[in-house]
Amino acid sequence: MATSGVFNKIKSSIQDGTREISRAASGINTEIQQTAANNNLNNPLPSDFASELNKASKILNSFTDSSKVEGVDQHAIPKEIFKNALGLAIFTVVKAGFFWSGRVGSGLVIARLEDGSWSPPSCINIGGVGFGPQIGADVTDFVIILNTKEAVKAFSRGENLTLGGSLSVIAGPVDIGGEISGSVIEAAPLYSYSKSKGLFAGVSLEGTIIIERKDANNAFYGKQVSVEDILTGKVEAPSGKIDALYSSVKFAEEREKNHDHPH
């Protein structure tokens, strides 16, 4: 697969940080989409809201549904993690580099409301540089569990958010043979789960930058909206547009071992 030229374009476009994400996406989106489709991978670059919703639902299913990915019963995100979650960030990134490395991607975030239901989604971009030595390039899916109110607030401010530091992110516990890994689950604002080509990857997100996609949010909701209003449920989503995502989240919270997804 001749993709080195594509990923070199990505590397060149994001060296100045997250300011160049939109420019990078416009220049190579079609090429990356085709590469992802040819290899049965999710498109990491910003797409329209409907595509982001479909991608998020597919990613979530791949971490929870035994009919969607091999070996998920042995390495699933435990449903208890979802039941206690206060928010979810779901996205795909492409990373490239050798001694230098960079990352760019897209996805969405939702938050749990006071009544226990879930907010509408807010679209996000992902960016970052300096993730350590990396040979070649790869596409990785992520599910980030927001465990605290402070984490949800950080995602709700509408400002560029850098993971790590005060908002620590660690690899989340997994379901191995019907039991959650580890006798004691370490508390952290964010749990990270990642997969590359269908296999759990354990990729660090320290230094990753999360950026609100204001244009996509405004277009989807038909007016100028803030991410805070979206994630607190003050904005109503278009009827029927996010049902598949809600269905995937509900399944993640309520599934029984070895039960397939209803859809």
Rounded Cα–Cα distance for residues 235 and 162 (Å): 25
Interval 30-89: pLDDT, tens: 555 665 665 667 877 778 999 999 999 999 998 887 666 555 455 578 888 998 999 999
Closest to 181 (Cα-Cα) out of 70, 109, 78, 95: 78
Interval 130-157: pLDDT, tens: 545 555 567 889 999 999 999 999 999 9
Task: Name residue 104's beta-bridge partners.
Answer: 94, 127
Interval 153-201: pLDDT, tens: 999 998 889 888 778 888 888 766 555 655 345 578 999 998 887 666 6
- pLDDT attached to residue 104: 83
Query: For the chain, how long is the longest CA-to-CA vector?
Result: 50
Closest to 52 (Cα-Cα) out of 233, 244, 254, 262: 244
